[in-house]
Amino acid sequence: YTAFEEELIAFCEQRVAPYKKIRKVEFIKEIPKTHVGKVLRRMLRDRERNL
């Protein structure tokens, strides 16, 4: 983890219920979107599976 990732996880741990705790943080340059501007969640899920 980088310092920022650790800070983000610590921040969320203080404010989020234990079952919603963040396990991993990944920064990407651009979120995939449709031509209308909606987030392509399917592409994000596929990306996660391929890691």
Distance CA 15, CA 23 (A): 15
Distance CA 48, CA 33 (A): 16
Can you give the residue ranges of every domain in the chain? Answer: 3-49
What are the structure tokens assigned to 50, written together?
């391929």
Per the model's pLDDT, the better-predicted residue between 35 and 1 turns out to be: 35
Per-residue pLDDT of 8-24, as tens digits, reads: 999 999 999 999 988 88
pTM of the model: 0.56
CATH of domain 3-49: 3.30.300.30
Q: Which of 49, 2, 10 is nearest to 27 (CA)?
A: 2
pLDDT at site 39: 96
